[in-house]
């Protein structure tokens, strides 16, 4: 059993498709182990995406991620990290496979509907960034 971090980004939350996205996870044997809706501060977003600090799109990414509320979740299940990445589709929705969340709900490479941890190691770091022990009980 694995856990991974998922974020429904501001574009998707604003489009009123939170439930539709959660249904993709639940229909594919991923359980919502923890969940909350919040608005990231600039500091939060900068810390969360610190690995991308040197990338040309970093500033835009922080601006976008703080532009509205997000839904942060811990998904739990067999191969949760890889399964979530598969359900999300490619970073650029134009390259995402048919039927994936990004193909169906995202507009552009910046506003791409969802985040998902890219490894088990990063999943643990990202989960701890957002959730306390009590919330994960």
Contact set with ligand IDP (CB under 6 A): 52, 57, 61, 91, 109-110, 112, 115, 118
Active site annotation includes 115: yes
Gap between the Cα atoms of 45 and 1, Å rounded: 28
Q: Which does 22 bind (CB under 5 to 8 A by kind): Mg ion, ligand IDP, none?
A: none
Catalytic residue among 115, 116, 123, 126: 115
List residues near Mg ion by CB under 5 A: 118
* Residue closer to Mg ion (CB basis): 27 or 88: 88
Query: Look-up: residue for tokens 């589709």?
Result: 89
Query: Least distance to ligand IDP from the beta carbon of 33, Å?
Result: 20
* Residue closer to ligand IDP (CB basis): 12 or 30: 12
51-70 burial by CB neighbour count: b if 16+ within 10 A, else e? eeeeeeebeebbebbbbeeb
Gap between the Cα atoms of 2 and 46, Å rounded: 26
Query: Least distance to ligand IDP from the beta carbon of 115, Å?
Result: 5
Gap between the Cα atoms of 6 and 112, Å rounded: 13
DSSP assignment letter at 114: E
* Residue closer to ligand IDP (CB basis): 22 or 84: 84
For the annotated catalytic residues, the residue numbers are 115
């Amino acid at each position: 059993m694995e856990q991974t971090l998922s974020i429904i980004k501001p574009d998707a939350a604003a489009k009123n498709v939170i439930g539709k996205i959660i249904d993709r996870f639940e229909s594919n044997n991923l359980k919502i182990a923890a969940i909350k809706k919040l608005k990231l501060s600039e500091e939060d977003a900068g810390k969360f995406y610190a690995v991308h600090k040197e990338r040309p799109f970093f500033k835009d990414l922080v601006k976008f991620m703080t532009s509205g509320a997000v839904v942060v979740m811990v998904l739990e299940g067999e191969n949760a990290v890889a399964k979530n990445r598969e359900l999300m589709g490619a970073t650029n929705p134009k390259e995402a496979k048919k039927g994936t969340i990004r193909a169906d709900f995202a507009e552009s490479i910046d506003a791409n509907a969802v985040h998902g941890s890219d490894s088990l190691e990063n999943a643990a770091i990202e989960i701890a960034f957002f959730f306390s022990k009590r919330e994960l009980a």
